[in-house]
Amino acid sequence: MSLVEVRGLKVHFPIRAGVIFERTVGAVRAVDGVDLDIDRGTTLGLVGESGCGKSTVGRALLRLEPATAGSVFFDGEDVFAKTGEELRRLRRRMQMVFQDPLSSLDPRQSIGSILAEPLRTHDVVAGPALDARVRELLDVVGLPTNAVSRFPHEFSGGQRQRVGIARAIALSPDLIIADEPVSALDVSIQAQVVNLLEELQQRLNLTYLVIAHDLAVVRHISETIAVMYLGVIVEVAPSDTLYDEPLHPYTIALLSAIPIPDPEVEDRRERLLLVGDLPSPANPPGGCRFHTRCPFRQPTRCHDEVPALRELRPGHQVFCHWAEEVAAGQITPTYAGSVPAAEA
């Protein structure tokens, strides 16, 4: 059984209007029916462009954002059924690493106090053992022990993220949700933090949900990758399979945008350009959500029939009516100019 099972997760944010008598006039469907499974000890990468709802999925899993519908089972326990003290106890086992390491650390707290907080909150250790545990955590993430009495603003971005990671592992959780863990860092520091995350995973048998928009980072760290578009998951596949044989048109377009570090190959690289902007999640397109921007769009089914997430090959699921034909090269993409302006 998977450690995390997400079924039909929906997170809608109501749009309210009116000054005194507020009424709900619609909803931003940030997450609109997401299923996910994460096996113990593995890493699931969740990718997608800004605004597709990937961060909201992470927050809803941790109950930091109320879900509208669906269920999340964590190690067999219904996360959404927990309240009060039960929820607090469950939080020990699921932790989060944030994108911006500076804003996610209280500027007035010393590093020692930041790391001691989760331990104190859950009465894990106290007294001299607490100090020892804090020092041990610093050591595990590769920070000097004299960091204890310093403040977040005294550290570099990479070091701050190490503090954030140390705080997340303080309670020895099973699951860590990392929301864009390296995107705020310099490229030279990104690799160090990614390596640290991998090292910790092996050492502590952690399960990761890594949310990112950087495909290279996700490929490096994940066993499985889920691609999200406008609140739904459009493709799930083992990491290498996804990169070698993407099946969904959106994934194909995303991957074709990665530059290749070889000028000759780069020159011949064929890019599949997506036209238009991400449609509003308050009013997503009917049928397949991607049909307004899809270069492989067909005259039938795409605009009026909602596709199902189908398992085409073992472990490889696709949310597209025409995935087989696209994979077989029977359908060729149309390019930017040919999409009528009114629909784009």
Residues in contact with another protein by CB under 8 A are 62, 64, 87-89, 91-92, 94-96, 98, 100, 103-109, 117-118, 121-122, 142-144, 146, 150-151, 153-156, 158-159, 164, 167, 171, 188-189, 192, 195
Whole-number minimum distance, CB 167 to another protein, in Å? 7
Whole-number minimum distance, CB 172 to another protein, in Å? 13
Whole-number minimum distance, CB 238 to another protein, in Å? 29
Whole-number minimum distance, CB 95 to another protein, in Å? 7
Which amino acid makes up residue 127?
G
Nearer to another protein, 162 or 321 (CB): 162
Nearer to another protein, 174 or 235 (CB): 174
Nearer to another protein, 173 or 249 (CB): 173
Nearer to another protein, 48 or 152 (CB): 152
The sheet that has 175-179: what strands, in order across it? 94-97, 175-179, 207-212, 43-47, 224-229, 232-238, 316-318, 310-313
CA 140, 146, 149, 151 dihedral sign is: negative
Alpha carbon 290 to chain centroid distance? 19
* Percent of residues in the chain assigned helix, strand, coil, to nearest 5: 35, 25, 45
Residue 275, SS3 per DSSP = coil
Nearer to another protein, 38 or 234 (CB): 38
Whole-number minimum distance, CB 189 to another protein, in Å? 8
How many angstroms separate the CA atoms of 162 and 160, rounded?
Answer: 5
Whole-number minimum distance, CB 259 to another protein, in Å? 24
Nearer to another protein, 189 or 278 (CB): 189
Residue 192, SS3 per DSSP = helix
Residue 206, SS3 per DSSP = coil
